[in-house]
């Protein structure tokens, strides 16, 4: 589960309006956030 951020105050790891997702060959997840206007990389541990 990915925490929801407050509009305009999203912190690392939080998404506001999750829009898209991709997974690379190492299992890392990339998530796009429309309202937060960014993409984030979640590293597999």
Tell me, what's the pLDDT at 27?
A: 92
How much is the pLDDT for 4?
Answer: 76
Would you list the DSSP string of 1-45? --PBPPTT-PPTT-BSSEEEEEE-TT--EEEEETTTTEEEEE---
> pLDDT band at 2, cuts 50/70/90?
low
Is 6 within 8 Å of 17 (Cβ atoms)? no
CA dihedral 36, 39, 40, 41 (to 10 degrees): 170
Question: What tens digit of pLDDT does each residue of 11-40 get?
Answer: 888 888 888 999 999 999 999 988 888 899
CB 26 within 8 A of CB 43: no
**Residue 41 banded pLDDT, cuts 50, 70, 90:** very high
């Amino acid at each position: 589960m990915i925490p929801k951020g407050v509009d305009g105050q999203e912190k690392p790891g939080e998404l506001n309006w999750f829009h898209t997702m991709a997974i690379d060959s190492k299992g890392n997840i990339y998530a796009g956030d429309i309202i937060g206007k960014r993409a984030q990389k979640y590293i597999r541990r």
